[in-house]
Amino acid sequence: MSFVSKRAIDRRTVLRGMGASLALPLLDAMIPAATALDKTPAKPVRRIGYVFMPMGCDLTRWTPPAEDNLEKLPFILSSLGPVRDYVTVVSNLELANAYPGSHATSNSAFLSAAKAKHTESTDYFLGTTADQIAAQHIGRLTQLPSLELSMDLMQTVGQCDNGYACVYQNNLSWSSPTTPLPSEAHPRIVFESMFGEGGSPSDRKTELQKRASLLDFLAEDIARLNREVGAGDRNKISQYLDSVREVERRIQKAERNVEDSPQLDLDRPLGVPASYADHARLMFDLQILAMQSDMTRVITFQLARETSTRSYPEIGVPDSHHPLSHHGNDPKKVEKIAKINQFHVSLFADFLKKLKNTADGNGSLLDHSLYLYGSGMGNPNVHDHSNLPILVAGGAADGMKGGRHIQCANPTPLANLHLTLLNKVGVKIEKFADSQGQVDSLFEPLSI
């Protein structure tokens, strides 16, 4: 790799060495040299992400008490306090095409707002999801058009829920009505998809044992790059590389923990942390690296699939999630569901705080990203797909004013919100699925 003095570094510059590659974060040195004198910061890109929370929630502990603001956060959203100014809760959204109510259609309709074909076989049919429409437009500019992540390592097959094929619960993203995109839950595989290491699993393991970090192979190019950029960019590079090394360190730690274990854990392959929270935080941090390096601008993350039987003993809920969701209005079961909901939101809140603290051009990653968090189900006890728990975070650069609770006057298609967010990240379309317009109140006009 080489640099020419006084010439802007290309945004697509990648450091390469011995099977590894590293894309760079957004640097001021990437602006044209002719404009460098006016100190114009590098222009950031727009990104969009979706985080799926399974099996609805206890809406009494989700819904903000104030009709228009988030001054008082309910129990489930309490961890969002430090970033409430970047968050807007949108109430009274629905997925009409998810009926008749089921777990399968809650998952499948969340990003498609489409009606799933009722089938147990391979003749499944849904609709192109919002993230993949974004990928078709803004994903062409990045190495990975989109990134599909999850927390479930095993995909179920056959018939999963009320005669629906398991494919509807396994996959959030569909690039066409007949093409579901599998998600990845293994941190090492996600890491390597972004930064290299080809070959078979055994080849990759052998190569990993030869070195401590991919950054070791890139030390010379990193040093050369630091000599060519200013102090501000050197600081950005240092912070970015620290993040890369920390993520890799945590993956390696999980790998060592499994290798050193006297008992083989078939449910937790090499490199997957034993703790759900540690695993989720690692997957969120991989999203940050993907955005910093502009590896992708479109991300989906499934915190668990519908009908998940995962338990959460670390927060005092040893019961399986899915049976709890059919709580029959038992106060103790409803309280446990709320604890799971609160736990999931707290992990998302930690992620938002990191986005806020990660510089990106003249703002932060949170300023220049839009994330939709929520579920395709409202009250799980009755498989209801109305009054969905939905919030939007980020987007300050696009005019989103947070700290608000927007209540739609009438039941409103979730597709309206999808359409709104797609347009804000540059996907100019007039309709998505069963949309009837946009959620105009979500954004304020930008001053010229």
State the pLDDT at residue 247: 77
Residue 226 forms part of a structural domain = yes
DSSP string, 189-207: HHHHHHHB--S-HHHHHHH
Spatial separation of the C-alpha atoms in residues 143 and 384, rounded to whole Å: 39
Token readout for 85 is 């100014």
Residue 5 forms part of a structural domain = no
Residue 221 forms part of a structural domain = yes
CA dihedral (394, 399, 400, 403) positive or negative: positive
Residue 1 forms part of a structural domain = no
Token readout for 15 is 């450091």
E strand intervals along 208-345: 298-302
For the entire predicted model, the pTM comes to 0.84
Render pLDDT for 35-78 as a digit per residue (tens, 0 to 9).
444 444 556 789 999 999 999 999 999 999 999 999 999 999 99
Contact (Cβ atoms closer than 8 angstroms) between residue 124 and residue 179: no
Strand 159-161 vs strand 179-181: parallel, antiparallel, or unpaired? unpaired
Residue 36 forms part of a structural domain = no
160, containing H or E segment: strand 159-161
Contact (Cβ atoms closer than 8 angstroms) between residue 398 and residue 88: no
Average pLDDT over residues 359-374: 95
State the pLDDT at residue 19: 53
The dihedral region occupied by 151, where left means phi > 0, alpha psi between -120 and 50, and beta the remainder, is alpha
Asked whether the bond before 100 is cis by omega within 30 degrees of 0, the reply is yes
User: Half-sphere exposure (CA, 13 Å, Cβ side) for 115?
Assistant: 7
Domain with 106 in it: 14-31+41-442
Residue 154 forms part of a structural domain = yes
pLDDT interval class at 445 (50, 70, 90)? confident
Which CATH number covers residue 433? 3.40.720.10
**Nearest Cα to Cα of residue 177 among 228, 128, 110, 135:** 128
State the pLDDT at residue 9: 67
State the pLDDT at residue 101: 84
CA dihedral 287, 290, 292, 293 (to 10 degrees): 170
Please name the amino acid found at residue 245: R
User: Of how many residues is the chain composed?
Assistant: 448
State the pLDDT at residue 271: 66
Render pLDDT for 75-118 as a digit per residue (tens, 0 to 9).
999 999 999 999 999 999 999 999 988 999 999 999 999 999 99
- Residues 6 or more apart whose Cβ sits within 8 Å of residue 217: 17, 18, 19, 20, 211
**Nearest Cα to Cα of residue 87 among 102, 70, 112, 103:** 70
Spatial separation of the C-alpha atoms in residues 95 and 386, rounded to whole Å: 6
**Total domain count for the chain?**
1
Residue pointed to by tokens 């602006």: 31
Render pLDDT for 208-255 as a digit per residue (tens, 0 to 9).
454 456 666 677 777 888 888 887 788 777 777 777 777 777 777 777
Among the ranges given (140-149, 152-161, 229-238, 278-287), the one the predictor scored with the smallest mean pLDDT: 152-161
DSSP string, 280-294: HHHHHHHHHHHHHTT
Contact (Cβ atoms closer than 8 angstroms) between residue 280 and residue 273: no
434, containing H or E segment: none
Name the packing angle between helices 187-195 and 276-292 (round to 10°).
10
Other C-beta atoms within 10 Å of 189: how many?
15
Spatial separation of the C-alpha atoms in residues 83 and 298, rounded to whole Å: 22
**Nearest Cα to Cα of residue 103 among 52, 174, 176, 175:** 52
pLDDT interval class at 268 (50, 70, 90)? very low
Residue 9 forms part of a structural domain = no
Contact (Cβ atoms closer than 8 angstroms) between residue 352 and residue 30: no
Strand 173-176 vs strand 179-181: parallel, antiparallel, or unpaired? antiparallel
pLDDT > 90: percent of the chain: 62
pLDDT(22) > 80: no
State the pLDDT at residue 6: 44
Strand 159-161 vs strand 147-150: parallel, antiparallel, or unpaired? unpaired
Render pLDDT for 385-431 as a digit per residue (tens, 0 to 9).
999 999 999 999 989 999 999 999 999 999 999 999 999 999 999 99
Supply the mean pLDDT for the chain. Answer: 85
Looking at per-residue pLDDT, the higher value among 383 and 226 belongs to: 383
Contact (Cβ atoms closer than 8 angstroms) between residue 80 and residue 349: yes
pLDDT > 70: percent of the chain: 81
Residue 168 forms part of a structural domain = yes
**DSSP character for 230?**
-
Render pLDDT for 324-357 as a digit per residue (tens, 0 to 9).
999 999 999 999 999 999 999 999 999 999 999 9
370, containing H or E segment: strand 369-374
CA-to-CA separations, 372 to 111, 276, 324, 367, in angstroms, rounded: 10, 21, 25, 14
